[in-house]
């Protein structure tokens, strides 16, 4: 019996039929519109009897659920399976393209096409096999090719689940016996002998497919099913033309070995062989693949349009890849702060790779034109100065998720990483399924990473919009929490209010995803700024358990330990941060602060100078360098550096404070008092002003005034007070009962 037919406009549940797009022994396929989710889908309406009873229907539903877990760029997604009015149907992703059979019907494909399409097909097989799913019916009619030459493989595992009905043809899916299911010309010999299918059966079918692509014809032929079966079991395929490269002929022969044990053992090995042909390398021996590449730098992608408004997209794609690939334990990925030093300049991937001591470098270019998104990427082997892989994605902007997932998976495969199923899930895990919310999150992170007042405010604004669209986006809440903390530190919001809101946002992120390392770090930061020190330490430790190589977590934890008077532990954490990112600007600056406050002035000068080499406009590092020089007795250098910093930022409270301190320490008392008067006139209740004025009064010997301003700083919840015990400026006050009481009220360890 044939499948029930539907006319255009007819409804099947909440799916409106638009057109028939295919038919076969396993059912009729329609393009339909999902009225609920407002999207086009493909409906495969099964023939009556394909599912014999409710038990078969239950098994099919279980299999369909397993197929729905195959989330891969080269596999057509299964959305649902349902039964309405005794009609069984499968709901799948609609693919705008043609079947591979249509392309082959026009003649043999070029070597370039064969390798490109074949490589994508092997990736789909690799992903399915890792989930324990064998296709069983690989053939040109089950492979769609989009207008952008992207492969989408259909009907994974359905040949085993369904019982095809009607007249069997040699090139249609058929059941030869209860154990022999598939399309005869693509069936492996062991299947025809009644043995169960395994991944090597799909390798055989893929070999038939390769032969057909390069020649335009089948390797085994017969006028009847009996003749076709005999050819598969005993005949050799006709010799391919010499126009087909020898290496490719060798791969096809290996796939078509009659004995399964003599074939490639997996789709991974076939893919490695095809990639070797693409790159001009020798074919890897059977059962062996090249050694994995264990280190990578993802450089900032170039914004081809030059429009600053779309800079968030090029930066965001590169940063997202860094974050996802960093989750893989077998791969060392250069952190963002180091990789992004190369933003905006002409880079030589081989030179960058040697500088950063990595084996591979990824570069990219991004162009957005309305709803069109073009992403070009190139992966380079540093030691060989050769391209490992390059790809151009021409997609709709709504396919941003698919592009990003595809690049991440391609990189892991091209680096020859053997990933577990859990690692693959982690690699393509999405922070939100809402594309618009994701776009807003990328904008938020782009602006927040600038660490400027305007950038933090914009980041907060975009985070708020993102969580309004997707209240379950934990990453947006985590980014929001860090923005609030920094706004409080910079005095752009009242510190107590900012830190409390940071804590609330971090807690909300953890309600959604308690395993998000960034959220634990954001909560640790907020709690430390709120002087909840024991809880802060617990959160720092949890963040590092979840992401041991998070440089920012090591850096912030180092500052926490140092503020608690645990200098040796703090320096150990700092060393780890420097080991991870020796060229990080914030880490080198933090090292300068810690070494300065512990009296290691030479080391402090080295790291502050390194900070200025990384960013000559980093005025806080310049001012602190001047302050450090004042402790070494290099007074002339101290005054010079502070004067330069003050000229670059005339109204900066902290810089003016450093300058005042240096003037007082170097004997320029009158100038220091004038600067102090200016600081008082510009005072704001932002936490920073009161703390700086208190320290300046100490240098000028005004101790009672210093305590008055310290108490103001306490009321304002100044973040500077976390360093009260270790800041050498206040060392002479330690014996004063007022100081001891203030330390107690803050909650610092005695």
Q: Looking at the annotation, which residues are catalytic?
A: 137
The 3-state DSSP composition of the chain as helix, strand, coil percent (nearest 5) reads: 55, 15, 30
**Helix 601-614 with 585-597: angle, nearest 10 deg:** 160
DSSP H helices in 547-686: 551-563, 567-580, 585-597, 601-614, 619-632, 635-648, 653-665, 669-681
Token pair, residue 154, equals: 């259909």
Residue 363: strand, helix, or coil = strand
Residue 398 buriedness (CB in 10 A; 0-12 / 13-18 / 19+): exposed
Token pair, residue 21, equals: 């797009």
**Helix 517-529 with 551-563: angle, nearest 10 deg:** 20
| DSSP for residue 488 | H
| DSSP for residue 721 | G
Distance CA 323, CA 336 (A): 8
Distance CA 138, CA 196 (A): 16
Report yes or no: 628 and 604 within 8 Å, Cβ to Cβ. Answer: yes
Backbone angles phi, psi at 362, to 5 degrees: -110, 130
Token pair, residue 463, equals: 């985070």
Distance CA 430, CA 127 (A): 18
Beta strands in 341-385 (DSSP E): 360-369, 372-381
CA dihedral defined by 35, 36, 38, 43, rounded to 10 degrees?
Answer: -60
Residue 16 buriedness (CB in 10 A; 0-12 / 13-18 / 19+): middle
Report yes or no: 312 and 270 within 8 Å, Cβ to Cβ. Answer: no
Strand partners, 226: none
CA dihedral defined by 531, 533, 535, 541, rounded to 10 degrees?
Answer: 130
Q: Classify each residue of 569-595 as buried b or exposed e, where b means 16 or more C-beta atoms within 10 Å of its C-beta.
A: ebbebbebbbebbebbbbbbbbbbbbb
DSSP secondary structure string, 12-69? ETTEEEEEEEEEETTEEEEEEEETTTTEEEEEEEPPTTSS-SHHHHHHHHHHHHHHHT
Distance CA 258, CA 345 (A): 55
Distance CA 249, CA 267 (A): 17
Tokens 């208190």 belong to residue:
694
| CA-based nearest residue to 323, from 226, 419, 442, 205 | 442
Report yes or no: 510 and 516 within 8 Å, Cβ to Cβ. Answer: yes
For 203: left if phi > 0, alpha if psi spans -120 to 50, otherwise beta; the answer is alpha
């Amino acid at each position: 019996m044939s499948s029930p037919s539907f006319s255009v406009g007819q409804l099947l549940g909440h799916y409106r039929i638009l057109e028939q797009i295919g038919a076969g022994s396993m059912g009729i396929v329609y393009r339909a519109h999902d009225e609920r989710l407002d999207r086009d889908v493909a409906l495969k309406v099964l023939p009556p009897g394909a599912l014999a009873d409710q038990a078969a229907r239950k098994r099919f539903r279980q299999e369909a659920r397993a197929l729905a877990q195959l989330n891969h760029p080269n596999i057509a997604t299964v959305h649902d399976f349902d039964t309405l009015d005794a009609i069984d149907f499968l709901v799948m992703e609609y693919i705008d393209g043609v079947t591979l059979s249509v392309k082959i019907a026009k003649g043999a494909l070029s070597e370039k096409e064969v390798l490109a399409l074949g490589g994508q097909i092997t990736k789909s097989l690799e992903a399915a096999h890792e989930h324990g799913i064998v296709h069983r019916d690989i053939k040109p009619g089950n492979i769609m090719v989009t207008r952008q030459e992207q492969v989408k493989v259909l009907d994974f595992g359905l040949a085993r689940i369904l019982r095809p009905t009607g007249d069997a043809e040699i090139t249609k899916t058929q059941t030869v016996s209860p154990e022999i299911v598939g399309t005869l010309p693509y069936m492996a010999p062991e299947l025809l002998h009644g043995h169960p299918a395994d991944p090597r059966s799909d390798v055989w079918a893929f070999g038939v497919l390769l032969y057909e692509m390069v020649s335009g014809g089948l390797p085994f032929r017969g006028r009847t099913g009996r003749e076709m079966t005999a050819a598969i079991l005993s005949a050799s395929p006709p010799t391919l033309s010499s126009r087909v490269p020898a290496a490719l002929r060798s791969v096809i022969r290996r796939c078509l070995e009659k004995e399964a044990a003599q074939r490639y053992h997996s789709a991974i090995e076939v893919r490695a062989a095809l990639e070797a042909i693409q790159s001009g390398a020798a074919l890897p021996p059977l059962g062996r693949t090249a050694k994995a590449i264990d280190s990578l730098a993802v450089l900032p992608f170039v914004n081809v349009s030059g429009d600053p408004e779309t800079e968030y997209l090029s930066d965001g794609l590169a940063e997202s890849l860094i974050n996802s690939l960093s989750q893989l334990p077998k791969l060392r990925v250069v952190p963002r702060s180091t990789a992004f030093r190369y933003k905006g300049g002409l880079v030589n991937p081989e030179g960058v790779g040697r500088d950063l001591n990595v084996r591979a470098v990824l570069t990219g270019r991004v162009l957005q034109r309305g709803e069109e998104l073009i992403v070009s990427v190139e992966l380079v082997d540093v030691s060989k100065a050769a391209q490992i892989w390059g790809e151009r994605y021409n997609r709709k902007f709504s396919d941003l998720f698919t592009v990003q997932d595809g690049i991440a998976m391609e990189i892991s495969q091209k680096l020859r990483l053997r990933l577990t199923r859990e690692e693959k899930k982690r690699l393509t895990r999405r922070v939100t399924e809402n594309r618009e919310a994701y776009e807003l999150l990328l904008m938020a992170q782009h602006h927040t990473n600038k660490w400027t007042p305007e950038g933090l405010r914009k980041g907060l604004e975009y985070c708020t919009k993102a969580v309004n669209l997707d209240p379950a986006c934990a990453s947006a809440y985590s980014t929001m929490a860090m923005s609030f903390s920094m706004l409080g530190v910079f005095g752009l919001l009242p510190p107590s209010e900012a830190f409390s809101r940071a804590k609330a946002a971090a807690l909300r992120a953890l309600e959604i995803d308690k395993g998000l390392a960034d959220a634990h770090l954001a909560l640790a930061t907020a709690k430390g700024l709120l002087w909840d020190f024991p809880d802060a330490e617990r959160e720092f430790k949890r963040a590092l358990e979840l992401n041991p190589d998070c440089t920012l977590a090591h850096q912030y934890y180092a500052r926490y330990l140092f503020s608690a008077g645990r200098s040796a532990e703090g320096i150990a954490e700092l060393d780890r941060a420097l080991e991870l990112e020796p060229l990080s600007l914030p880490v080198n600056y933090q090292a300068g602060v810690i070494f300065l406050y512990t009296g290691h002035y030479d080391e402090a000068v080295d790291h502050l100078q390194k900070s200025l080499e990384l960013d000559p406009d980093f005025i806080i590092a310049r001012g602190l360098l001047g302050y450090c020089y004042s402790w070494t007795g290099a007074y002339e250098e101290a005054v010079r550096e502070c004067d330069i910093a003050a000229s670059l930022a005339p109204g900066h409270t902290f810089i003016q404070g450093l300058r005042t301190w240096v003037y007082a320490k170097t004997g320029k008392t009158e100038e220091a008092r004038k600067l102090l008067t200016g600081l008082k006139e510009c005072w704001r209740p932002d936490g920073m002003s009161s703390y700086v004025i208190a320290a300046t009064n100490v240098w000028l010997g005004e101790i009672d005034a210093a305590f008055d301003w310290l108490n103001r700083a306490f009321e304002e919840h100044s973040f500077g007070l976390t360093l009260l015990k270790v800041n050498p400026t206040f060392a002479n006050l330690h014996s004063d009962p007022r100081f001891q009481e203030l330390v107690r009220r803050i909650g610092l360890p005695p």
